[in-house]
Amino acid sequence: MSTPRDLMIVALDVAPSRPLERGDLSLALAGAEAYDLLRAEALTLDGERIVPRRKPDLEDRLLDEAAGSLVRQMPYESLADWLWRRGRGLASVYLAALEDEGQVTWERSRWLPFRSGRTVLSDTGARRRAAYRWAADEPVLLALAAAVGIREEIAGAEPGVGDDAVLTVLAAVHDAVMELEAVRQRRAIEEAAFANVWRGA
């Protein structure tokens, strides 16, 4: 399993500290991929730009796709741009992958058989592994979860994270989530203003 898969499982398994936005989760999943690719030495960071390295043999299909999506021509892509590009719809991709693997099932109401149900995690080794990392307060997983509201924000520097490249990834995820929230707030204000004008017409 991988950090993004563990994050997706935790997102399905843990009651969030605030309403969970799918766009936020997609950005965090892309950040989790960047973290795993850093660990696999598939990339390095030059400042805030992603510098691809040799493509390793990755056992995870989605991580392999992430490695294959890296821009390999100079000037290399910024980490922020990659998070937005790779993260587009990524939560749905991971949910579908978990469903295909039998990690997730859909529970439907017998009274409403044609209405979409809720996702239910199967009792698998992957779920237990994610739960173990969560219970062990694994710092990167906790920081990514905090960025999207699965848990409360961590005050100050990320505890237990001493690698500058990893800190850069976590900061980029946090900034991207904040930017997306600002976009949502502007859109809500514009829609409210339009509704007021329409009612006054």
Domain assignment of residue 37, given as a range: 3-200
Average pLDDT (167-193) is 86
What pLDDT, on a 0 to 100 scale, did the predictor assign at position 43? Answer: 97
Cβ–Cβ under 8 Å, residues 168 and 45: yes
pLDDT of amino acid 112:
42
Tally of structural domains, the chain: 1
**CA angle, corner 166, sides to 60 and 124, nearest 5?**
35
Do 180 and 24 meet the contact criterion of CB atoms below 8 Å apart? yes
- pLDDT at 158 (0 to 100): 54
pLDDT at 86 over 50: yes
Distance CA 106, CA 119 (A): 5
Identify the CA nearest to 28 among candidates 129, 120, 141, 131.
Answer: 141
- Asked if the model's pLDDT at residue 71 lies above 80, the reply is yes
b/e map 5-36, b = 16+ CB within 10 Å = bbbbbbbbeeeeeeebbebbbbbbbbbbbbbb
> In which band, very low, low, confident or very high, does the pLDDT at 50 lie, cut at 50, 70 and 90?
very high
Q: Is the pTM of this model over 0.95?
A: no
Around Cβ 82, how many Cβ atoms within 10 Å? 23
The pLDDT-based confidence of 68 (bands split at 50, 70, 90) is very high
Give the per-residue pLDDT at 170: 95
Tokens of 95: 């949910």
Return the pLDDT at 111.
44
Q: Name the residue with higher pLDDT: 28 or 196.
A: 28
Calpha distance 40→67 (Å, rounded) = 10
Question: Is-contact 90 7, C-beta < 8 A?
Answer: no
Pick the more confident residue, 134 or 157. 134
Q: Residue 189: what pLDDT?
A: 78
Q: What is the mean pLDDT of residues 65-75?
A: 94
104 - beta bridge partners?
Answer: 121
Kindly state the tokens that stand for 61. 């299909």
The average pLDDT across 165-182 equals 94
